[in-house]
Amino acid sequence: MVIKPMIRNSICLNAHPAGLRIYVQDGIDYIKKQKKFTGPKNVLIVGGSAGYGLATRIAAAFGAGAKTLSIAFEKPASDRRAATAGWYASEYFKTQAEAQGLFTENIYGDAFSREIKDEAIAAVKKHFGGKVDLLVYSLASGVRTDPRTGVVYRSVLKPIGAAYSAKSVNPLTGQLEEGSISPATEEEIEATIKVMGGEDWELWVDALLEAGVLSQGAVSLAYSYIGPDMTRAVYRDGTIGRAKEHIENSAKVLDKKLKSSLGGAAYISVNKALVTRASAVIPVVPLYLGILFKTMEKKGLQEDCIEQMYRLMTDRLYAGGSVPTDAEGR
């Protein structure tokens, strides 16, 4: 099959396996050049096929020799379509990890469902000796079916209270354009919290605790973003910001739960802005990212997912002693 780029509204709709091989290999090569560290041994990553979840997986496997199990919503190729980017990335990661003798398993399906949680628990029992010591929750999704009610929720990236207009850049043409988004309705705010908030993370931890497959001292981790004043109206003060407040609150609930049951902990890691599928279509964000990357490069500070996730493990989570956090426990 010849794969030709399909791009709509600045979003690439298909992927090429050769590109994903290079992307994953670059991450592996970066970690191999860093100092090895004593870290997690059995890692379950919900959303481990792309972005921050994939980088966490690469850092844990190639930096600390961890066994990794990833849950992701990805599809293999069919007669007419190429596979999704995350499928190519996950399969390539598996070949490289296995070549180093690192156990790797990929489960493809809807992480929000009870069925996939049960499948993951069965895999943990079979391959991890029944114990996970790091659960990473790195989902980014536009839609979630609540497993208890069957109701489908769709998240939106919108401001709250007033419309928002700003300059943006079209990533394909490089032209500056004026963009505008109308404010979210109450229903849209609630739906975004349902999809991108912490409810499903809590369900994951509860399911694993109930099945007795978290080890003594187990850590769970989810990712958040704060950002500058420039993106505040559409990000931290917008619908996604409400979902992030919710997941940050879930971290506090889970931290108490894991502490009291296993002497474990839950944390939020606030990560840097990077290009994702959604960010390309929010006004101001592509322009902000373009300026941010250039400025950080000039200052020698620019990092991708992999550098941040390596630092998260070596400078924070597995540095020894108490984990440094801000006043909010992030």
Residues lying near ligand NAD in the complex (CB under 6 A): 47-53, 71-74, 86, 110-112, 138-141, 223-225, 271, 273-274, 276-277
DSSP 8-state assignment for residue 164: E
State which residue, 123 or 140, has the beta carbon closest to ligand NAD: 140
Beta strands per DSSP E along the chain: 7-8, 11-12, 42-46, 67-72, 104-108, 132-137, 143-145, 152-154, 164-169, 176-181, 214-224, 265-270
| CA pair distance 217, 212, nearest whole angstrom | 13
Q: Least Å distance between CB 2 and ligand NAD? A: 25
Nearer to ligand NAD, 106 or 314 (CB): 106
What's the min distance (Å) between Cβ of 165 and ligand NAD?
22
Q: Minimal distance in Å, beta carbon 291 to ligand NAD?
A: 15
Question: Is the CB of 67 or the CB of 236 nearer to ligand NAD?
Answer: 236
CB of 231 to ligand NAD, least distance (A): 10
**Catalytically annotated residue among 137, 235, 267, 288:** 235
- Catalytic, 235? Answer yes
Query: Which residue sits closest to ligand NAD, CB atoms considered?
Result: 51
Here the tokens at position 34 are 């860093």
Angle value at C-alpha 152, between 146 and 153, nearest 5 degrees: 95
Task: Return d(Cα 189, Cα 7) in angstroms, integer.
Answer: 29
Closer of 37 and 235 to ligand NAD (Cβ) = 235
Q: Is the dihedral of CA 316, 46, 105, 23 positive or negative?
A: negative
DSSP state of 181: E
Active site amino acids:
235
